């Protein structure tokens, strides 16, 4: 109205803020690139670096891509200034995924910072390191997290907890157990702050591993009030799930209602056990909608999608809850303590905590105690509009299920004019649920005010709410109808203004409400119908008119007066027919037809005339719907009479019965009683996102199956129980499998079960003492020789296993650690050579011939139209470039027809730009040499393949050192089939022949940071030994068999060179401890040597404990190779 | 878990983007959002949870700034919303208000704050006192200093001690020469008066605001003279639950500085301090307005800052309104605001005039609601009284101060 006021106020405020902008970063935001940023980044002053980084941040904020500054920014990660660090971290996290190679450069700095005395620096380093999501550094991050989880500073431990989901998010199956172990440890932390973050980690990493919670359930409950607010929200949910999985639902809670309806059925058969209880609950259910509660609790238990889809084919019984799945809230301590510890949270300052606590009480608390959540919930309505909306959406369900709970508080749902439309609509709906005979009068008084509100949409909703209220409380019907009728007479409704869309909506709503009220008890509202019919002249809104006309047809035989009015009314309608809206026209036709059906005597003739007149008009109407309707109605029996005159013979037509039925269906007098479906039937757990958006959001889980967590599970070693848990879930309810989509994707050959031993392996390493004596049972194959102090080395290996964090310690830390155990890592120290243990060298010469390359399937005949493609990694070395890995591919035609034109193409190469970009990245990276090598060297295509024929091709692929599957496209017969080639890090190396002395010398140059170890078990030899026992061979061959099977396994899974096999000379007959195999290789791309040592320990006939050690300059590669080796060694060979 | 937070200006410009997890959210989602805001108007803006084709969005609008957070997975929606509210509270506390310019001018601080407040999509440090220690708020001194010296570090070098303690809201061991505690009762009165002039509902939402400057680790207890009138309460995390449950006594170790100790609600009050009597009579395309405002129950202290506001119905073409006291303004969006101030002794303030209706309209059929504002210093209208405040570990001297204030909350009079 007066825009100039607003404008001046705005300019004034702008002017005043200009004054305050001095000294802020305003200029940086406004013109971030008005100076050249690059030189500032290289400046030696922190303040200039800061300015440059702030400019970059401003550009990020404004949506520009400034990732090209990445290399320069990364350099600054080493800065001592915390502000520079912070800004670099902000930048790094934003772009790390885009520039993985450069991001790797910062790892060393993070590792250094992790040893910093300032906890803030440690925490930041950890957060950032975990935040740059690179698969290759995941093992390093995990070790860092493990270390920080034991940090003295609470803040660092908290950050460690929140870093776990980041690592888990990379979906590295082999680390799952290690992550879960850390989660368990942090959940047990004594600081509440850490427990909160650990709960969040638990919820996103391993929500099914409830046995982790079981171990310290009591402690978690007690600590709950002290946990910081955000952690509380998550922890409450976890504890609820645990209690249900462990003890089942509570008998006295609302969730029992589904049980009680079922048992009341059985009560009729006289076979019920606790009849008293059922009676009691039915008494209570007088105040609540038990059928609705049943729906809700089922939805909570199994997710509405499941429940609804099943109920549609009428098989509700498959989800049975028996009495054993219920526990008593009064006697079960775990339930009691949960309710006890969550009840003070209802007073929390944080809305989300209150709602979460209320959710627990809603599900678990005995019915009579549920009311304690009401006041806190209502208090939430005083918060911000956004929170208010979410809370109301939850109250909406609660109130519908148990209106009695909210009925006394109806005043809290009275509406303020300042509220948003959504909130008003929700409040109206809730009011219509909770209205009682005592409160209805004040509620109606309020509604009268609402109808006069300037927001007409809201007014229309109010009218609808009145209708709903009356349906619940029929006593009010007459008063309401009178009120509604007076509305129809009001001037504003009946006048036809241009802008009256919303008024039309109100009128339609008024008639609709009246209609629904009349439907409940038509005879008593006869006068209302008459009044409505009288008002037809003034009601102009088509939808409203149509409804009144419908009522004329529907109640045409009702009472005394209406039948007498009919002729006049129909004449009036017929007269005005041409000027009506299509909607009304259709309804007039229907109504006349209906009247005709029931008409008798004198009126019949008049009605018929009217009808045929209308049909004629309608058949020439512009609207084709109307023309169709007219033709259809004409064919109906009662109308037939009209067009054919009064021939009685028509009744003999055989199809006539059918026509009668059709007529009944179309014009059915008895409208079936349809329950009002104003409300969706989908219910999700209170407080969940899904409940707001009314569909299961990804990651939504219904409550766990009651009592699915057995006591045994808690006692079993955690690793296996976790597996069982997962299996249980996927077995019992179907979403288990979908919850982990990565399962199918991430390769059959990486099974997480194998890493079970990883965590516990560290303890075993220390026991490797060579106590056995004598037994010089020398074999011709075994040559006795001195090979350094092998056993010392063995100790070194086991002590630097992951749990000890040896490889991650910064240099300083490493040195101090070395001081504690002088020289144990370095076998070349002269001191050490005094303690020498003789060992023998075994030669297993012919192993090489036995090596069978493992073959993987690339394409199975079913999906490849009969073409079967297998591949195995070849030990050949590419002659084109050292970046390429050779793969042997076998094409076999399994079909009966010739397949022609087979060729393999890199899918990426289509996107030329993309791949160019990728090579550009590689070029800048110092780690790889700079040559332009394609991802896939073009394969010589196969012209044709006869049925049954097999052809072999050598494929040269460049994996870019990624461990992710490479997407290729296979063309055959002109068709394109997408396939995935899974890289094997074992073939990213090539054999590097050397003798033992060279090996030991090289190994001694790669200590500390470059040495990583892991342990695992090995079982292959057992099969082998059993076989040989049968042949009654000599016992001494056991060693040979072990060495052979071990070497075979290594060589057939990785491209290595066997350097030596050592055996302790003082070996016991069937103690394989001390056996050591050495392999050497070099990385294909960079020619960096990579040395592998495997130490054996344990009895010959038992599973052996292996400790694997890798020495390699390239940390990340080495770690990945180590993991790969450990994985395939554990995996039993399929024979 | 939240994946990304956007800050949008009131013109839909993305001022800031903070990615929280590795699953990046493209800022094109903001375009989608703003397109819908434009096409659906305010009803979309008041929707706190939105399911977009790719993400679920949580939105909180404060002072024209839209805080938008995205997630793709199930999470408690209130957690997202509450967190955004907390962010906006902290930001407006840091920047002294919220508007487009102030956020752009201090974007580095906003980034640093966001980075401390949330990690990997889960809230990390949200306690204002700790944040203040980690990242210094901008103030005049630091601004001037940065202009003069060019050094502008506002990031603290050390971890605040409170992050580690089991009372995370309190900085470790502050020292004060004077030990002071100020307790304020700040109440807001919500009332609805219907067309007939009847009081439909009247309740008070109050807060106990404490400003504490105490050395060491003080343990305070606060008790009320009449706790039974409290209908429902909510507490700062520092309040111990059990003493309240058993004796209705607040026992707590206070944070340092200002904080909200508790909030409460008292329902079913019987009267309001003011009366407002609107009369609207319409006839022949004109509507006569007459509004009277006066004191109904004298609270014993002066009622000041009295204002009256109402939205003119859309069917009104023009308005001619005058008052015998105070000033009447009609703002651009058809909001009429009448600033009264204090009620004079000699006369009853009244607003009168005529509204001209749209041409076809004879009479007015929708009626505005009048929103009333007032403030009364020195009185808690609910009648809640503080009994005593004790310090367990009594230092040598302790100065205690009490104040009360009542103002109008949602005070509505329908016509």
Encode pLDDT of A316-355 as tens digits: 444 445 555 666 666 778 888 888 888 888 988 889 999 9
- Which residue in B22, B332, B361 is closest to A97 by CB distance? B22
Same domain, B194 and B135: no
Beta bridge partners of B281: B288
Contact (Cβ atoms closer than 8 angstroms) between residue A843 and residue A781: yes
Task: Summarize the confidence of residues B297-306 as an average pLDDT.
Answer: 85
Q: How far apart are CA B138 and CA A883, in angstroms?
A: 53
A-B contacts at Cβ under 8 angstroms: 311
Token pair listed for A265: 């059925």
pLDDT of residue A714: 54
A455 contact partners, CB below 8 Å, separation of at least 6: A421, A424
Residues B46 and B135 reside in one and the same domain: yes
Number of domains within chain B: 3
Contacts of B66 (CB under 8 A, 6+ apart): B6, B7, B8, B9, B10, B45, B59, B60
Domain for residue B158, yes or no? no
A490/B49 Cβ within 8 A: no
Kindly give the pairing relationship between strand B249-252 and strand B257-266: unpaired
- Write down the pLDDT at residue A313: 43
CB contact under 8 A, B363 and A158: no
Hey, are the CB atoms on A230 and B79 less than 8 Å from each other?
yes
Contact predicate B147/B38, CB 8 Å: no
Percent over 70 (pLDDT), chain A: 68
Q: What is the pLDDT of residues A898-917, one digit of tens each?
A: 777 777 777 655 444 444 44
B143 and B212 belong to one structural domain: no
Do residue A197 and residue B122 have CB atoms under 8 angstroms apart?
yes
Note the pLDDT of residue A837.
43
Query: Using one digit for the tens of pLDDT, what is the confidence trace for A241-273?
Result: 888 888 888 777 777 655 444 444 433 333 333
CB distance A390–B81 less than 8 Å?
A: yes
Supply the CATH classification number for the domain A848-908+935-983: 2.60.40.1150
Q: Which one, of B183, B230, B233, lies nearest residue B390 by Cα?
A: B183
Determine the distance in angstroms separating the CA of A417 from the nearest CA of chain B, rounded to an integer. 7
Largest pairwise CA distance in chain B: 77
pLDDT at site B172 = 61
DSSP one-letter code for A586: H
Per-residue confidence at A542, pLDDT binned at 50, 70, 90?
Answer: confident
Phi and psi (nearest 5°) for A613?
-65, -45
Q: Name, in order, each residue with C-beta under 8 angstroms of A1095's C-beta and a sequence gap of 6 or more.
A: A768, A794, A797, A798, A1074, A1075, A1076, A1106, A1107, A1108, A1109
Q: Which residues face A979 on adjacent strands? A: A968
Select from A672, A691, A675 the least CA-distant residue to A683: A691
Report the distance separating Cα B192 and Cα B369, nearest Å.
10
Q: Where are the domains of chain A?
A: 25-244, 529-639, 848-908+935-983, 987-1129
pTM of the model: 0.69
Return the CATH number at B300. 2.60.40.1170
Within 8 A of B330 by CB-CB distance, chain A residues are 1-2
Residue closest to A129 by CA, chosen among B124, B110, B22, B5? B22
Contact state of A229 with B126 under an 8 Å Cβ cutoff:
yes
Look at A355 and B76 and tell me if their CB atoms are within 8 Å: yes
CA dihedral A217, A221, A223, A227 (to 10 degrees): 110
All residues of chain A having their beta carbon less than 8 Å from the beta carbon of residue B314 are: 454
Of A2, A28, A83, the CB nearest to B330: A2
| Whether A387 and B414 lie within 8 Å, measured CB to CB | no
For A118, which of B73, B158, B371 is closest by C-beta distance? B158
In which band, very low, low, confident or very high, does the pLDDT at A444 lie, cut at 50, 70 and 90?
confident
Residue bearing tokens 């022609």: A900
- The mean per-residue pLDDT over the stretch A984-1001 comes to 82
Is B224:B387 a contact under the CB 8 Å cutoff? yes
- What is the number of alpha carbons within 13 Å of residue A466 lying toward its C-beta? 34
CB A1063 within 8 A of CB A1041: no
Name the band, by pLDDT with cuts 50, 70 and 90, for residue B372: very high
Are A50 and B153 inside 8 Å of each other by CB? yes
> Residue written as tokens 């509570």?
A250
Looking at the fold, whether B349 and B396 belong to one and the same domain comes out as no
3-state SS, residue A266: helix
Average pLDDT over chain A, rounded to an integer: 72
Cβ-contact B71, B1 below 8 angstroms? yes
Question: Does B49 contact A389 at a Cβ distance shorter than 8 Å?
Answer: yes
Residue A919 has pLDDT above 50, yes or no: no
Query: Alpha-carbon distance A222 to A211, whole Å?
Result: 18
pLDDT of residue A741: 39
Highest-confidence range of A190-194, A400-404, A599-603, B349-353, by mean pLDDT?
B349-353
Q: What share of chain A has pLDDT > 90, as a percent? A: 2
Within 10 angstroms of residue A601's Cβ, the number of other Cβ atoms is: 6
- Cβ separation A697–B260 shorter than 8 A: no
| Cα A1038 to Cα A141, A772, A1007, A1076, distances in angstroms | 40, 17, 33, 15
Residue partners of B173: CB distance under 8 A and separation at least 6:
B161, B215, B216, B217
Same domain for B257 and B280, yes or no, is: no
Nearest residue of B to residue A346, measured between CA atoms: B234
pLDDT 10s digits, B21-31: 878 888 888 88
What does each C-alpha distance from A826 to A94, A810, A823, A830 come to in angstroms?
41, 17, 5, 10
Q: Both B404 and B265 in a single domain?
A: yes
The ipTM assigned to this model is 0.92
Q: What pLDDT does A848 receive?
A: 60
The token pair that represents B224 in the structure block: 């009320």
Residues in Cβ contact with A920 at an 8 Å cutoff, skipping those fewer than 6 apart: none
| Residue A346: partners with Cβ closer than 8 Å, 6 or more residues away | A354, A357, A358, A361, A372, A373, A376
Fold topology of A25-244: 1.25.10
- Give a yes or no: residue B289 inside a domain: yes
Examine the pLDDT at B318 and tell me if it is beyond 70: yes
Using a CB-CB distance cutoff of 8 angstroms, which residues of chain A are in contact with residue B83?
230
Q: Which residues of B touch A24 (CB under 8 A)?
A: 105-106, 138, 143
Same domain, B289 and B410: no
Tell whether domain A987-1129 is in CATH 3.20.20.100: no
Nearest neighbour of A416 by CB, restricted to B27, B144, B412? B412
The answer to whether A353 touches A229, Cβ cutoff 8 Å, is: yes
Please name the residue of chain B whose CA is at the shortest distance from the CA of residue A190. Answer: B166
DSSP 8-state symbol, A328: -
Q: What is the pLDDT of residues A474-530, one digit of tens each?
A: 887 888 888 888 877 765 554 544 445 667 778 888 888 888 888 887 788 888 888
Domain assignment of residue B16, yes or no? yes
A385: chain B residues, CB-CB within 8 Å: 46, 48
Beta strands across the sheet bearing B286-295: B274-283, B286-295, B350-357, B316-323
Position A1125 scores a pLDDT of 85
Q: Å from A576 to nearest chain B CA? A: 26
Residues B404 and B323 in one domain: no
Considering only CB atoms, which chain B residues are within 8 Å of A1?
330-334
Averaged pLDDT for residues A689-716: 74
* Structural domain harbouring B210: 179-269+381-414
pLDDT on residue A670: 47
Q: Kindly report the CATH number assigned to the domain that includes residue B71.
A: 3.30.450.60
Which of A196, A235, A454 to mutate to probe the B interface, most B CBs <10 Å? Answer: A454
Q: Which helix (H) or strand (E) holds B369?
A: strand B369-377
pLDDT on residue A467: 85
Q: Tokens 């012209």 sit at which residue?
A: A943
Lowest mean pLDDT among A17-21, A25-29, B349-353: A17-21
CA A861 to chain centre: 33
- pLDDT tens digit string along B158-215? 666 655 555 666 766 677 778 888 999 999 999 999 888 888 889 999 999 998 888 8
Distance between B173 CA and the closest CA of chain A, angstroms: 18
In a domain? residue B132: yes
CB spacing of A454 vs B367 below 8 angstroms: yes
* Residue A724: other Cβ atoms inside 10 A: 16
Rg (CA), chain A: 40
Give B333's contacts in chain A (Cβ within 8 Å). 1
Task: Looking at the complex, report in whole angstroms how far the Cα of residue B130 sits from the nearest Cα belonging to chain A.
Answer: 12
Mean of pLDDT values over B335-345: 88
* Chain B residues lying within 8 Å of A93, measured CB to CB: 19
Q: In the prediction, which pLDDT does A684 show?
A: 84
Asked if B71 and B144 sit in the same domain, the reply is: yes
- As to burial, measured by CB atoms within 10 angstroms (0-12 exposed, 13-18 middle, 19+ buried), residue A158 is buried
* Beta-sheet pairing, B399-414 with B180-193: parallel
Element (H or E) spanning A1005, and its range? Answer: none
At A990 the three-state DSSP class reads strand
Q: Is the pLDDT of residue A6 over 60?
A: no
What mean pLDDT do residues A73-102 have? Answer: 82
Distance CA A62, CA B35 (A): 19
* DSSP state, residue A225: G
Could you identify the residue written with the tokens 């490849």? Answer: A864
Domain membership of residue B155 (yes or no) is no
Q: What are A1080-1106's pLDDT values in tens digits?
A: 888 877 788 888 888 888 777 778 888
The pLDDT of residue A654 is above 60: no
Instruction: Write out chain A residues lying below 8 Å of B267, CB-based.
Output: 411
Q: Are residues B141 and B16 in the same domain?
A: yes
* B chain contacts of residue A82, beta-carbon cutoff 8 Å: 153, 155-157
By Cβ distance, the residue of B81, B146, B166 closest to A23 is B146
**A123-172 pLDDT tens trace:** 888 888 888 877 788 888 888 888 888 888 888 888 898 888 888 887 77
């Amino acid at each position: 109205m007066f825009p100039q006021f607003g404008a001046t106020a705005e300019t004034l405020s702008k002017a005043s803020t200009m004054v305050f902008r001095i000294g802020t970063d305003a200029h940086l935001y406004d013109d971030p690139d008005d100076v050249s940023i690059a030189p500032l980044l290289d400046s030696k002053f922190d303040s200039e670096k800061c300015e440059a980084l702030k400019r970059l941040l401003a550009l990020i904020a404004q949506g520009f891509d400034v990732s090209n500054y990445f290399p320069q920014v990364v350099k600054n990660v080493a800065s001592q200034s915390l502000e520079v660090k912070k800004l670099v971290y902000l930048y790094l996290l934003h772009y790390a995924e885009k520039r993985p190679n450069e991001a790797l450069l910062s790892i060393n700095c993070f590792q250094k910072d992790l040893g910093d005395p300032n906890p803030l620096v440690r925490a930041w380093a950890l957060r950032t390191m975990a935040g740059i999501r690179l698969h290759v550094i995941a093992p390093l991050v995990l070790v860092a997290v493990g270390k920080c989880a034991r940090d003295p500073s609470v803040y660092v431990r908290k950050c460690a907890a929140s870093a776990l989901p980041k690592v888990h998010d990379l979906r590295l199956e082999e680390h799952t157990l290690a992550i879960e172990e850390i989660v368990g440890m942090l959940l047990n932390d004594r600081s509440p702050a850490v427990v909160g973050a650990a709960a969040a980690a638990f919820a996103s990493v391993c929500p099914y591993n409830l046995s982790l919670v079981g171990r310290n359930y009591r402690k978690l409950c007690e600590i709950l009030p002290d946990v910081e607010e955000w952690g509380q929200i998550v922890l409450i949910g976890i504890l609820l799930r645990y209690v249900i999985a462990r003890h089942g639902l509570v008998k006295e809670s609302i969730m029992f209602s589904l049980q009680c309806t079922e048992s009341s059925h059985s009560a009729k058969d006289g076979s019920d056990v606790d009849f008293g209880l059922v009676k009691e609950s039915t008494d209570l259910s007088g105040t609540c909608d038990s059928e609705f509660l049943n729906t809700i609790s089922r939805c909570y238990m199994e997710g509405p999608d499941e429940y609804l889809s099943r109920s549609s084919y009428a098989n509700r019984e498959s989800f049975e809850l028996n009495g054993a799945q219920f526990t008593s809230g009064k006697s079960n301590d775990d339930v009691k303590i949960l309710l006890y510890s969550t009840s003070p949270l209802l007073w929390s300052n944080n809305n989300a905590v209150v709602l979460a606590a209320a959710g627990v009480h809603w599900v678990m608390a005995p019915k009579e105690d549920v009311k304690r959540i009401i006041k806190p919930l209502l208090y939430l309505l005083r918060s911000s509009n956004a929170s208010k909306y979410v809370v109301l959406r939850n109250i909406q369900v609660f109130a519908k299920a148990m209106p009695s709970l909210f009925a006394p508080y109806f005043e809290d749902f009275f509406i303020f004019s300042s509220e948003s439309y959504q909130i008003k609509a929700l409040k109206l709906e809730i009011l219509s649920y909770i209205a009682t005979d005592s409160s209805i009068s004040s509620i109606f008084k309020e509604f009268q005010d609402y109808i006069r509100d300037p927001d007409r949409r809201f007014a229309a909703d109010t009218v609808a709410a009145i209708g709903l209220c009356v349906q619940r409380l029929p006593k009010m019907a007459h008063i309401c109808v009178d009120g509604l009728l007076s509305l129809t007479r009001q001037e504003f409704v009946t006048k036809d203004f241009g802008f009256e869309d919303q008024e039309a909506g109100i009128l339609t709503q008024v008639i609709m409400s009246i209609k629904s009220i009349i439907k409940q008890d038509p005879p008593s509202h006869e006068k209302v119908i008459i009044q409505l019919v009288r008002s037809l002249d003034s009601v102009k809104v088509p939808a409203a008119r149509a409804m009144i006309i419908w009522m004329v047809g529907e109640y045409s035989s009702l009472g005394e007066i209406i039948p007498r009015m009919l002729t006049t009314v129909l004449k009036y309608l017929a007269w005005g027919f041409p000027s009506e809206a299509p909607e009304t026209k259709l309804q007039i036709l229907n109504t006349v037809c209906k009247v005709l059906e029931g008409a008798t005597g004198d009126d019949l003739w008049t009605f018929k005339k009217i009808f045929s007149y209308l049909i004629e008009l309608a058949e020439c109407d512009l609207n084709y719907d109307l023309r169709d309707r007219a033709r259809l109605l004409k064919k109906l029996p009662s109308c037939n009479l009209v067009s054919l005159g009064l021939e009685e013979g028509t009744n003999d037509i055989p199809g006539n019965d059918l026509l009668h039925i059709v007529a009944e269906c179309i014009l059915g007098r008895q409208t079936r009683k349809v329950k009002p479906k104003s409300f969706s039937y989908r219910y999700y757990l209170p407080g969940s996102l899904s409940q707001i958006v009314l569909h299961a959001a990804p990651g939504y889980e219904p409550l766990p199956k009651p009592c699915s967590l057995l006591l045994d599970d808690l006692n079993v070693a955690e690793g296996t129980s976790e597996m069982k848990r997962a299996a249980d879930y996927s077995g019992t309810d179907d979403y288990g499998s979908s919850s982990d989509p990565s399962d199918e994707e991430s390769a059959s050959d990486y099974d997480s079960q194998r890493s079970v031993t990883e965590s516990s392996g560290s303890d075993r390493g220390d026991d490797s003492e060579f106590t056995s004596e004598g037994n010089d049972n020398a074999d011709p194959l075994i040559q006795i020789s001195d090979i350094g102090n092998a056993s010392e080395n063995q100790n070194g290996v086991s002590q630097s296993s992951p749990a000890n964090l040896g490889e991650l310690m910064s240099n300083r830390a490493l040195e101090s650690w070395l001081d504690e155990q002088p020289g144990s890592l370095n076998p070349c120290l002269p001191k050490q050579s005094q303690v020498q243990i003789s060992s023998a060298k075994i030669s297993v010469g012919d192993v090489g011939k036995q090596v069978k390359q493992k073959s993987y399937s690339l394409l199975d005949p079913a999906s490849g139209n009969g073409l079967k493609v297998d591949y195995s990694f070849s030990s050949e070395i590419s002659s084109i470039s050292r970046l390429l890995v050779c793969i042997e591919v076998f094409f076999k035609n399994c079909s009966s027809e010739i397949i022609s034109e087979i060729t393999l193409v890199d899918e990426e190469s289509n996107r030329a730009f993309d791949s160019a970009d990728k090579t550009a990245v590689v070029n800048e990276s110092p780690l790889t040499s700079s040559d332009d090598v394609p991802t896939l060297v073009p394969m010589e295509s196969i012209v044709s393949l006869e049925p049954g024929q097999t052809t072999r091709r050598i494929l040269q692929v460049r994996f870019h050192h990624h461990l992710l599957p490479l997407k290729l496209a296979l063309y055959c017969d002109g068709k394109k089939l997408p396939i995935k080639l899974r890289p094997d890090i074992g073939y990213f190396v090539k054999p590097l022949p050397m003798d033992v002395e060279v090996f030991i010398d090289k190994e001694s140059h790669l200590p500390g940071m470059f040495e990583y170890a892991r342990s695992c078990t090995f079982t292959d030899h057992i099969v082998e030994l059993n076989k040989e026992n049968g042949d009654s061979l000599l016992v001494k061959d056991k060693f040979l068999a072990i060495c052979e099977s071990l070497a075979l396994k290594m060589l057939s899974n990785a491209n290595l060179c066997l350097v030596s096999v050592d055996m302790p000379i003082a070996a016991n007959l069937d103690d394989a401890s001390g056996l050591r195999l050495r392999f050497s290789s070099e990385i294909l791309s960079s020619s960096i040597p990579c040395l592998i040592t495997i130490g054996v320990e344990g009895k010959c006939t038992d599973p052996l404990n292996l400790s694997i050690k890798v020495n390699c300059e390239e940390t990340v590669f080495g770690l990945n190779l180590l993991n790969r080796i450990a994985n395939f060694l554990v995996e039993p060979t399929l024979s | 878990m939240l994946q990304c937070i956007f800050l949008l200006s009131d013109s839909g410009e993305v001022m800031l983007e903070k990615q929280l997890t590795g699953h990046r959210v493209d800022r094109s989602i903001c375009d989608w959002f703003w397109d819908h805001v434009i096409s659906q108007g305010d009803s979309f803006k008041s929707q706190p949870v939105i399911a977009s084709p790719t993400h679920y969005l949580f939105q909180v609008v404060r002072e024209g700034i839209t805080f938008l957070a995205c997630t793709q997975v199930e999470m408690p929606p209130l957690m997202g919303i509450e967190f955004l509210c907390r962010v906006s509270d902290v930001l407006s506390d840091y920047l002294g208000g919220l508007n487009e310019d102030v956020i752009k001018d201090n974007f580095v601080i906003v980034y640093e704050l966001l980075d401390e407040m949330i990690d990997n999509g889960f809230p990390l440090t949200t306690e204002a006192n700790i944040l203040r220690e980690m990242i210094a708020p901008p103030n005049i001194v630091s601004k001037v200093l940065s202009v003069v010296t060019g050094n502008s570090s506002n990031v603290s070098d050390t971890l605040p001690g409170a992050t580690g303690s089991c009372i995370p809201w309190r900085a470790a061991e502050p020292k004060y020469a004077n030990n002071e505690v100020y307790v304020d009762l700040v109440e807001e009165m919500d009332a609805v008066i219907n067309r007939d002039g009847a009081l439909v509902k009247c309740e008070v939402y109050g807060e106990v605001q404490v400003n504490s400057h105490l050395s060491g680790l003080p343990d305070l207890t606060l008790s009320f003279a009449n706790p039974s009138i409290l209908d429902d309460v909510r507490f700062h995390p520092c309040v111990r639950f059990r003493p309240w449950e058993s004796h209705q006594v607040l026992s707590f170790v206070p944070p340092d500085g200002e904080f909200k100790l508790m909030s409460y609600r008292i329902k079913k009050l019987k009267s309001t301090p003011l009366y407002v009597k609107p009369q609207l009579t319409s006839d022949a395309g004109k509507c006569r307005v007459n509004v009277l405002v006066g004191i109904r129950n004298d609270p014993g202290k002066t009622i000041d800052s009295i204002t009256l506001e109402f939205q003119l119905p859309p069917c009104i073409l023009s308005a001619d309104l005058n008052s015998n006291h105070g000033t009447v303004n009609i703002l651009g969006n058809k909001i009429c605001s009448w600033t009264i101030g204090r009620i004079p002794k000699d006369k009853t303030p009244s607003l009168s005039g005529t509204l001209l209706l749209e041409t076809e309209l004879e009479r007015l059929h929708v009626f505005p609601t009048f929103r009333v504002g007032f403030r009364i210093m020195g009185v808690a209208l609910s009648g809640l009284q503080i009994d005593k405040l004790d310090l367990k570990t009594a230092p040598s001297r302790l100065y205690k101060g009490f104040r009360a204030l009542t103002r109008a909350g949602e005070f509505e009079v329908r016509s």
